[in-house]
Amino acid sequence: MISKDEILERTNRGLDVFKYYLGMPFKPGKNFRNPLYEDKNASCNIYFDKHSMMFKMKDFGNEGYSGDCFWFVATLKGMNLKTDFVSIINLIAKDLHLDVVTDSKQSLHPIRRNKEATIQIIEVDVPIYEIVEKTFTCSELEYWQQYGITKVVLDTFHVSSVNVFKSVNRNNEPFKIKSSEIDPVFAYKGLGYVKIYRPMNKKYRFLYGGEMPDTYCFGFEQLPNKGDIVFITGGEKDVMSLYAKGFHALCFNSETATIPIQIIEMLERKFRHIIFLYDSDETGKRESLRQCSTLSGHNVIRIELPLPGTKKEKDISDFFASGKTKSDLQALITGALEKYYSNTLMLIKSCEMDYNNPPQNSKTVVSVNNVPLGTYDNLLCVTGGEGTGKSNFISAIIAGTLIEVDEYSEIDTLGLDITPNFKHKAILHYDTEQSEYQLYKNMTKTLKRSGLSHMPDSYHSFYLASLSRKERLNIIRDSMDLYYHRFGGIHLVVIDGIADLIRSANDEAESVAIVDELYRLAGIYRTCIICVLHFVPNGIKLRGHIGSELQRKAAAIISIEKDDNPVYSVVKAIKVRDGSPLDVPLLQFSWDTDKDMHIFAGEKPVEDKERRKRNDLINVAKEIFYTRKSLSYSELSELLCEMLDVKERTSKNYIQYMKSNGIISQNTYNNYIAGKLCNI
């Protein structure tokens, strides 16, 4: 009885199997595009695994497409590796004309061989090397620790301590290097290759073993799916030193290496900024300038470290070893971005409100505002008509965010819970409609409500009415990035007048684009962006293309309306991400003459909430059955999910409520039709 090793022996340890089924020429250790899926980049290769003593496929772009020759055939033919293993063996034996058969018990039996048959072993043109690893010594860990690199970081980047390294030189002559206390040896291990690092050796600091990839890229594997900044540095030690401080970085084999444009394009999709952080010596400065010039069409910038450029003080790891901190590097990043955004800064200064130097009194043109509220990484929308008290409602929310210490008096935030800005992050308020003087008056109301004696420097209010629509969006995008780095984050963003960022609120393409862009910015900067939409909602739906897009993307939508009793304004939820907005209590607020501001007036009675729920669902039923005579249960449920942006569970509850309250009924075929209350 024999095992699958017989197949491996007769196929050069599986290499012939890959050659037959791949159907294209390849060289072990050289990358090619994976034929198992639509692989856009050559990130897959065949290599010899010394542990299993067979050739395997490794896909760096998609780990799920890696395995031995048996796995490859099973995947290629749509078979199950475990249950169909006998069939896989039979298929390989048949296709490659091997002298092997199998029985139903999944064991292999040879038949009589031809005595003249021989097994051909293919020589692979890959430089031979061998490393004998050992445990890191205390002195070796101390060496890495001076740069902030811990054992955990070393393990993360597959760095090992080497006892002995064996390989051959260019003349194919064998040599051996042994680690010592004064000449430690470390290995940056890759798939089928190794880069040896000897930090104390002046003559042979770097050595290589195995088949190096066409593009050596250290740190690529450890990058997240998305982020704010990625550094391109000069060496592996720099990458790990930055990683230890919480930054993302990668490096190529040298600062003079040519960077494939595909990698830059991939990094652009993942990160807001690509920053070259090369050494501060002559080579590093020259090459970072060259790279930025070559890649001028992409979002790349460079930072020069304030180091003399000597051998011991030239790179970012030396920067941290000298006692500099993450904050020191963040200051350099902020300085580079302020230089990068120099033109934007001039525009920002021209439209930023200076509370200590108020503008001259001018006629108020538009005095309505909307105030969204929500969670980080999401959009939130506030909508409503004029005269509903939105201006004071916005003031209450911003006043709650101005608090930066634990000891503060209770603030009336009109029934909402507001998270104070304890971490002193930026609070940005962009207004596209109001006059300068009206915006200044609103800032005064906000300060009064907060109980503070002066406006915190974290709060910035911008008057954008005088700018074009394209300039407004550029100002918002660039200033968010600038203040994010200046204050270490953004606590809240208010965009009062989202429709004024595009030409038409009923343009579908523009509406989708602006909502997608704001949603992307909320994710990049981990903040809540409040979008104020100057549309009066129709029941529990927003009007227009931009309203529909916000209904899909926003985590919550709040509407402010006048009550039947005009003394009160009512705050109601049009959408909440989890649950039904019709079950959210109705909040109300009213004007207090003595306090000279709006105050919270409690929740409306349950009867009012039920009346609102019934009326809103009647309007939805009228819209549904205006062009339809009847619907099945599943069709009605699907329409409610789509129109109200709720989950199936909530739509089923709505159907039950509408049926029991006479909003809908069923015909003789058990299909749903409009009820008596619809009056269609």
* pTM, full prediction: 0.58
Count how many Cα atoms sit within 13 Å of the Cα of residue 670 in the half-sphere of its side chain. 2
Architecture of domain 376-604: 3-Layer(aba) Sandwich (3.40)
pLDDT, position 107: 38
What CATH architecture does domain 611-678 belong to? Orthogonal Bundle (1.10)
Give the count of alpha carbons within 13 A of 8, CB side only.
15
Instruction: Using the structure block, give the residue that is written with the tokens 């109601």.
Output: 572
Question: What is the pLDDT of the chain when averaged over all its residues?
Answer: 83
Architecture of domain 228-340: 3-Layer(aba) Sandwich (3.40)
In a 3-state reduction of DSSP, which class is residue 214?
Answer: coil
Convert the pLDDT of each residue in 25-46 to its tens digit: 888 888 888 888 777 777 788 9
Q: What is the DSSP letter of 205?
A: -
Banded pLDDT at 170 (limits 50, 70, 90): low
CB 193 within 8 A of CB 128: no
pLDDT of residue 247: 96
Residue 97 is encoded by which pair of tokens? 């004309």
**Closest to 581 in 3D by CA, of 620, 546, 549:** 620
Structural tokens at position 121: 């072993």
Q: What's the pLDDT tens digit per position in 519-556?
A: 999 888 988 898 888 776 665 567 678 888 888 888 88
Half-sphere exposure of 492 (CA within 13 A, CB side): 30
- When pLDDT is cut at 50, 70 and 90, the band that residue 578 belongs to is low
Relative to beta strand 490-496, strand 528-533 is parallel
Domain ranges for the chain? 5-110, 129-210, 228-340, 376-604, 611-678
pLDDT at residue 371 in the model = 35
pLDDT digits (tens, 9 = 90+) for 41-100: 777 889 888 778 889 998 877 777 888 999 999 988 888 888 888 888 888 888 888 754
The two tokens of residue 513 are 């684009």
* Backbone φ/ψ region at 91: left (φ over 0), alpha (ψ -120 to 50), beta: alpha
Task: Calculate the alpha carbon distances from 183 to 84, 385, 620 in Å.
Answer: 53, 75, 78
Distance between CA atoms of 52 and 487, rounded to whole angstroms?
Answer: 53
Q: Does 585 score more than 60 pLDDT?
A: yes
| Residue 619: per-residue pLDDT | 84
pLDDT value for 277:
96
User: Which has the closest alpha carbon to 378: 228, 554, 517, 496?
Assistant: 554
At 335 the pLDDT is 92
Of residues 289 and 59, the one with the higher pLDDT is: 289
Query: Which DSSP string corresponds to 515-551?
Result: HHHHHHHHHHTT-EEEEEE----BTTB--HHHHHHHH
Q: Are 239 and 250 in contact (CB under 8 A)?
A: yes
Place of tokens 């909320």: 522
For residue 270, count other CB atoms closer than 10 A to its CB: 14
Kindly report the backbone phi and psi dihedral angles of residue 263, in degrees, each rounded to the nearest multiple of 5, phi listed first. Answer: -70, -40
C-alpha–C-alpha distance, residues 128 and 85, integer Å? 33
